[in-house]
Amino acid sequence: MTVPGRLALCVSELEKGEFHYSLLEAVTVPGELLCFRPRETGETAHSTPMGAWFEGVGVVRKLGKTD
């Protein structure tokens, strides 16, 4: 189960003009302040960062309903 507030959403341009979201989960690493590991990356390429962002927000909302 994911603890609320321990997720980060980012958008990356993996190829020119192809934006994907990545959902990152905070992890505890001794000696480090804040570390994240990839939890999920969107497979659908979007032509704008906003499209990828909205898809990622939808995933976060679904996780909130199931966790």
The tens digit of pLDDT for each residue in 18-31 reads: 999 999 998 887 88
In a domain, 27, yes or no: yes
Nearest to 16 by CA among 37, 47, 43: 47
8 Å CB contact between 30 and 62: no
Show the domain range for 41.
Answer: 7-66
In a domain, 2, yes or no: no
Task: Write down the pLDDT at residue 44.
Answer: 95
Task: Write down the pLDDT at residue 13.
Answer: 96
The pTM of this model reads 0.79
State how far the Cα of 43 lies from the Cα of 30, in Å rounded to an integer: 32
In a domain, 51, yes or no: yes
Task: Write down the pLDDT at residue 39.
Answer: 92
CA atoms within 13 A on the CB side of 23: 19
Tell me the residue length of the chain.
Answer: 67
In a domain, 39, yes or no: yes
Tally of domains in the chain: 1
> pLDDT below 50 — which residues of the chain?
1-3
Task: Write down the pLDDT at residue 1.
Answer: 36
